[in-house]
Structure 1
Amino acid sequence: MTTVASLSEELDNNPYALSHLDALESEAVHIFREVAGEFERPVILFSGGKDSIVMLHLALKAFAPAPVPFALLHVDTGHNFPEVLDYRDRTVARHGLRLHVASVQDFIDRGELRERPDGTRNPLQTVPLLDAIEKNRFDAVFGGGRRDEEKARAKERVFSLRDEFGGWDPRRQRPELWQLYNGRHSPGEHVRVFPLSNWTELDVWQYIAREKIELPAIYYAHEREVFARSGMWLAPGEWGGPKDGERLEVRQVRYRTVGDMSCTGAVESDADTIEAVIAEIAASRLTERGATRADDKLSEAAMEDRKREGYF
């Protein structure tokens, strides 16, 4: 009788058996190549965050030694961490990539968007994103969303059909049996594609360690000025923090996820190496978005509401 132990031993002794990271990498590479064959104008969302960095690394692998046949798109809130923007620009230059930047600030300056009272711009990204998709006629948009991040994202397919307004309707999503992906869409519609759907935060970090992928330094423990708000440590900035009564402190922190400075919290941590980060994540019982993203706490269904409006 085959037992778990005997099956594990069999896999260990089989030189052709794939590790779980190999299997995830193979699936993602297949998805990139499938999109390249099915769509005319794909684009990769790239913010300089860890998931988009891993996604780009996989795209580079999928088409090597040829260049990546897709452009990159960053929806810039204007409140990004400087370290992350610097990483983004260095990466684009190093690989000779094309980068489109959709600026939230430009839409505010033209009066097409209004600042929120809380200073948070993450919810304002939807309009610049949809505008960039329409103007550039992108028909497939790669995102780094993972199903373990948040309950609304757990409902996503790998190929997520969006209507002519960029909206997501769970009733229109298609089955994906045997890794068969259906990219058909009507004029004006497009497909969001999630190569990391089946990855977890721990998978991402283990893959970063295995592939020796460089990340912005803020993902590792460092001393930083922060202040407490709503149970999170936020970084000061032009977006409006700290307010009266909020005291700046120097703490040793790191970031599990990267977004708008106004809604992305740091966690206190001593994990200044990738091995220490992996150990810390393995012991955590909170997802990175649940622990450190204020924009997901605006309502019980904040992410799902934004997805219906056209966000990721």
Structure 2
Amino acid sequence: MENATLADEVLSRIVRAERGSVDDLHEQLHEEGTDVSRRHLTRVLDDVLGGPAPTDLHTLTDHEGRPANRLLIDPLSDHAQRSKQRLLIGQLLTLYGAEVLVVNDRRGTRWWARVYEEKDTVDKAAPSPKNVAGALERIRGLFDADIIVIPHGTLRLHSDDSHSIEGVTVADFLYPPLPYAPRAHEEAVSGGEHSHLDVLEAESIRIIREAIAVAQNPAMLFSLGKDSMVMWTLAQKAFWPEPPPFPLALIDSRWEFQEVYQVLDYISNQPGTRFLVHTNPEAVERNVNPFDFGSAAHTDITRTQGLRQFLNEHRPDFIFGGGRRDEERSRAKERVFSLRSETHGWDPKAQRPELWNAYNTTLSKGQSMRVFPLSNWTELDVWRYIQREHIPVVPLYFSKTRPFVERDGALIAIDDERFQLEDGERVYFEPIRFRTLGCYPLTGGDRSGASSVADIISELEHTRVSERSSRVIDSDPGASMEQKKKEGYF
């Protein structure tokens, strides 16, 4: 058979097949009387699929041409070998107008599966999404072992939908995250469940309105964590249909998780949202980081001093925060309306009584007030409210296979290439999630299978461990949270 004719036949069989491999294709052609060697068939495959299979992990890129995280390539290879999983490279190719998922190992051997479109039963005119997960599931069936698939090129755009396939790990953690899009909440909650949330909601809205009634220059500190998202939702309800009459403020350490910055972009583009982002110039000039400066100095320079700079520059008088009394001992001492001195310090012995929820909002010259609308909420209340109100949150709260190291009992994620691995340190690739968010080298995760809001609620109903137990800064010797607050930390 001529090469051109053979190429057409190969293309046709790939597109028509549910799934396939070089061996399957070679056997089919042989049974039909086409005498072609496996080596020649592989060369024909290279031609019809646009070139040789990519086998060098260091040359792989995402859909924008960004390379894979070099810190993780060798550890991922070691992990695949240690766990006896097949390490594959995956691409989405268009052949004869059809989408095909093609994977190969590091020797260049290829397998493939047709990618079908999912029909939208509600909106017939809507573009049909590609069922990449279905193709991955069929490819998984070709192997006796579990597989790890590194997306290459445009496959990265579809990898977020492929994390629930048994026996398949999609190594999208090698690349920067995709732009944030709120996930759909499938869990339905009846209106009669957890009616105490209505009481908490009403109390928080009253606190927000009471502060705004006397504030001259209010602001809301916004970390983009779950508590911030709930507090912002409450503020939107408090002033609906008008937007909340204050800006959101982020004290950026430059070491937030990458996915936090994606959510920042998403929130910033919402109507009626004003964002003020401040970074301590000294931290930029000195390249302050948790590895070279240590957690205490890093937090003081980037967070505490950065916050004080922001407050001195913008002079807000009432500043909302998402702190809750159940989080940590010093926060349990905090009043709902917590007075701060002219230097932004907190004196726990000089706080005002709040009997019968009557708040003294009077300020002397130079003083300011921190306001905590979620003071009486618990972590479980927050998640039940997120479920009820369908509030978007950073995906880091949900379990997913992520690369991390274990240091002093904390599971520290390797979020970008700035991470400093210690000599001989092992990198793990396991499902973890985060209950609280901060600078990523100082925030430990938890091994967990909770991949939905309902899963998280179920998990919290049976845990007795504080969400801040994995925050490295809370364990700094001689630097308690109470001392940080006295110095101006929020």
Say if 1:149 and 1:288, in contact at 8 Å, map to a contact too: yes
For 2:430 and 2:436, the matched residues in 1 are separated by 18
1:47 has 2:223 as partner: yes
Aligned partner of 1:224 among 384, 396, 402: 402
Map 1:258-273; keep pairs closer than 5 Å. Answer: 258-273=437-452
Answer with 243-252 or 198-207: which moved more: 243-252
Match of 2:425 in 1: 246
Match of 1:288 in 2: 467
3-state SS of 1:242 partner: coil
1:168 has 2:346 as partner: yes
For 1:198 and 1:253, the matched residues in 2 are separated by 28
| 1:263-288 deviation per Cα after TM superposition (whole angstroms, max 9, x unaligned) | 11110111101111001111111110
Match for 1:107: what amino acid?
E
Match of 1:6 in 2: none
Structure 1 spans left out of the alignment, 5+ residues: 1-14
1:123 has 2:275 as partner: no
Map 1:24-63; keep pairs closer than 5 Å. Answer: 24-63=200-239
Aligned partner of 1:275 among 450, 454, 465: 454
| 1:5-46 deviation per Cα after TM superposition (whole angstroms, max 9, x unaligned) | xxxxxxxxxx99x92100100010001100110111110111
Match for 1:284: what amino acid?
T
3-state SS of 1:100 partner: strand
Number of equivalenced pairs: 295
Structure 2 spans left out of the alignment, 5+ residues: 1-190
Match for 2:300: what amino acid?
P
Answer with 294-303 or 238-247: which moved more: 238-247
Say if 1:45 and 1:74, in contact at 8 Å, map to a contact too: yes
Say if 2:399 and 2:431, in contact at 8 Å, map to a contact too: yes
Cα RMSD, aligned residues only: 2.0
Shift of 1:239: 5.2
Answer with 82-91 or 63-72: which moved more: 82-91
Distance change in 2, residues 1:242/1:110 (3 Å): closer
Map 1:61-72; keep pairs closer than 5 Å. Answer: 61-72=237-248
| 1:170-214 deviation per Cα after TM superposition (whole angstroms, max 9, x unaligned) | 111001112211121222211111000000000000000011111
Match for 1:244: what amino acid?
D
Aligned partner of 2:266 among 86, 90, 96: 90
Map 1:7-26; keep pairs closer than 5 Å. Answer: 19-26=195-202
Q: Which has the larger radius of gyration?
A: 2
Match for 2:199: what amino acid?
A
Say if 1:119 and 1:262, in contact at 8 Å, map to a contact too: no
Match of 1:204 in 2: 382
Structure with more contact order per residue of length (Cα contacts < 8 Å, sep ≥ 6): 1
Answer with 61-70 or 234-243: which moved more: 234-243
Q: TM-score if structure 1 supplies the norm length?
A: 0.90
Match of 2:76 in 1: none
Say if 2:442 and 2:471, in contact at 8 Å, map to a contact too: yes
